[in-house]
Structure 1
Amino acid sequence: MERQREFFPSVQKTVMPRPYFGDETDILGQSGTAWAVDAAIYGSNFFVDRGQGLVEIYDAGPAISFHHLLPHKDKYKKEGLYLRLKLAYRTTANANVNIRNFSGNHVTLPNSFYGDIYDDLDTYWWVSDDLTLNINSIFSGEKLWLQRVDWEWMSKEVVYEDELQNKDLVLHRSFDDIEKLYSPQNITDSSVKDFLMEKIKNDDQFAKCCLLILRQDQLMNEDLTKLFEGIAS
């Protein structure tokens, strides 16, 4: 179907704040704590109580960014480590707080009058790029208090619950083995093949190009106009 194009003599320009690019921090350590009172908070309906070390949220809307307080999520990806994140919080008795968590899922926190830890298990699979909590909803008249986010680098090697009696829960690593992961690799026939196989697995466009190369003898026999029509359409 051919679209009908119109002409607009004047078009509104988009107005937005000028982007600010702050210095990216390099958070060191195997584990640590990021305090909610130090987070960047956007929106309304919140109060920062530095005396008690808490961020009080009394309605939906705020976004709490820990981007500058937590390590970069892919920093140790090559070593098979992931960033495990746990949220320390407290609520009024019937808050039923729904959040978008660090793994990008929308979950309802269990009500906890005396405080609790929410362990975001799905950070094993993925951590959001913005490292931000979004408060989706809180029951009317109820409140949520955020204290901190505890973080730890953990191995993606899995021990199942029924194996706890027989397997070591700690992965012991060699410094030399880890150093080899970051050292420049010599280019060999085998390493080139491994690179191409990995590229084909992860890049659909590259895989298509490889397939076209394999079929080039067949394509050379095709009419040039016919080939162009297939590409243009």
Structure 2
Amino acid sequence: MAIHLLAFAQSGELTSLFSNTGLVARAVLLILMLFSLFSWSIVVAKWSLFRRAKVQSGRFVRAFRKAQRMQDVAAVAEQFKPSPLVSVFEGAYEELRRQGPRLNVTSIQRSTQIAASEELTRLERRLPWLATTGAVTPFIGLFGTVWGIIDAFHGLGDAGAATLRAVAPGISEALITTAAGLFAAVPAVIFYNMYMNNIREFGARMDDFSLELLNTVERGSNAPAPQRGVEVVER
């Protein structure tokens, strides 16, 4: 379909159709084009963000499991920054450093939950625009369709006879705006669903990492302070 649209545009017929449309249809097409361009900018940016986050998350987990101390992980965490797991670790590590010899695991768990929530909010940023595009643009295109049909009937009335020449401009506008609305909506819906699935996977991955991190803290093998004599307090 994309190849046919590209060939259609290169042939100059698309430009010709746009130049022959009315003012309302042009306004509708311009609005749909703006929706589509902004949506595609989000799609490309999020694609890169999620790809880097997934790669760096795997590397960070491997580095965490190989480290002997949490200080070692904190020293290299910055290079894995695209991963949301880094923020979860840093939240727990900062809370752990602020505590004294009495280790409160519950407060560390709350820190990981806050960091995970902030990361999910960051990952979801601007994605509602894709949902809005998928929901709104078909109706914008439908408005152009209805207007084109109205123009077709006006042309039919002015001509006084049911000829193709009388109704062709209005029908053409209707079909163009319908296609433009679908062209803007369909990719937005596809990528929105794909990215929301990725975010759910990151949420589950952060939950699993938080549990693994808390287990490490409770064992006391990787804590930043000497662990002999440390009392673990749970509330």
The verdict on a shared fold, with TM-score over 0.5 as the criterion, is no
How does the TM-score come out when normalised to structure 1? 0.21
Q: Which of structures 1 and 2 has the larger relative contact order (alpha carbons within 8 angstroms, sep 6+)?
A: 2
Bigger radius of gyration among the two = 2
Relative to total residues, which structure has the larger helix share, 1 or 2? Answer: 2
How does the TM-score come out when normalised to structure 2? 0.21
